[in-house]
Amino acid sequence: MNLEELNKIANKMVAKGKGILAADESTSTIKKRFDAIGVPNTEDNRRDYREMLFRTTATMKDHISGVILFDETIRQKAKDGTPLVKLIEDAGSVPGIKVDAGAKPLAGSPGETVTEGLDGLRERFAEYHKLGARFAKWRAVIDIGKDIPSYNCINANAQALARYAALAQEAGIVPIVEPEVLMDGDHDIARCEQVTTWVLKEVFQQLFYARVPLEGIVLKPNMIVPGKKCPKQNSVDEVARATVMVVKDCVPGAVPGIAFLSGGQSDEEATAHLSAMNALGGLPWPLTFSYGRALQAAPQKAWSGKAENLAAGQKAFAHRALMNSLASIGKWTKADEKKAA
Ligand code: 13P
What is residue 339's predicted lDDT score, i.e. its pLDDT? Answer: 80
Q: Cα separations (Å) of 157 from 38, 105, 140, 218?
A: 35, 12, 6, 17
Q: What ligand 1 atom has the least distance to the C-alpha of 22? A: 8
Give pLDDT tens digits for 86-105. 999 999 999 999 999 999 99
| Domain housing 74 | 3-340
What secondary structure does DSSP assign to 238-271, as a single string?
A: HHHHHHHHHHHHHS-TTS--EEE--TT--HHHHH
Identify whether 315 is a catalytic site residue: no
What is residue 239's predicted lDDT score, i.e. its pLDDT? Answer: 98
Overall pTM surpassing 0.95 (yes/no): yes
Does the C-beta of 139 come closer than 6 Å to ligand 1? yes
Contact between 208 and 254 under an 8 Å Cβ cutoff? The reply is no
- Cα 294 to ligand 1 centroid, rounded to whole Å: 8
Distance between CA 96 and CA 235 in Å, rounded? 34
Give pLDDT tens digits for 136-156. 999 999 999 999 999 999 999
Does the C-beta of 103 come closer than 6 Å to ligand 1? no
Does the C-beta of 156 come closer than 6 Å to ligand 1? no
Residues of the chain predicted below pLDDT 50: none
Average pLDDT value for the chain? 98
What is residue 340's predicted lDDT score, i.e. its pLDDT? Answer: 65
What is residue 102's predicted lDDT score, i.e. its pLDDT? Answer: 97
Does the C-beta of 226 come closer than 6 Å to ligand 1? no
| Candidate of 183, 228, 293 to mutate for ligand 1, largest count of ligand atoms within 8 Å of Cβ | 293
Q: What ligand 1 atom has the least distance to the C-alpha of 293? A: 3
**Residue 22's beta-bridge partner residues?**
68
Does the C-beta of 263 come closer than 6 Å to ligand 1? yes
Distance between CA 218 and CA 332 in Å, rounded? 23
Strand 218-219 to strand 287-291: parallel, antiparallel, or no bridges (unpaired)?
unpaired
Phi and psi at residue 147, in whole multiples of 5°?
65, 5
What is residue 341's predicted lDDT score, i.e. its pLDDT? Answer: 56
| 203 contacts: CB under 8 Å, gap ≥ 6 | 158, 161, 162, 177, 179
Distance between CA 140 and CA 160 in Å, rounded? 8
Per the document, the length of the chain is: 341
- Cα 20 to ligand 1 centroid, rounded to whole Å: 10
| 284 contacts: CB under 8 Å, gap ≥ 6 | 248, 253
> For the chain, what is the domain count?
1
Does the C-beta of 22 come closer than 6 Å to ligand 1? yes
Distance between CA 170 and CA 158 in Å, rounded? 18
What secondary structure does DSSP assign to 109-124, as a single string?
A: STT-EEE---TTHHHH
Residue 111, domain CATH: 3.20.20.70
What is residue 1's predicted lDDT score, i.e. its pLDDT? Answer: 77
Distance between CA 148 and CA 88 in Å, rounded? 40
| Residue identifier of the C-alpha nearest atom 4 of ligand 1 | 263
Identify whether 127 is a catalytic site residue: no
Which residue in 137, 281, 288, 139 sits closest to 223, CA to CA? 288
Q: How far apart are the first and last CA of the chain?
A: 41
Strand 64-69 to strand 135-142: parallel, antiparallel, or no bridges (unpaired)?
unpaired
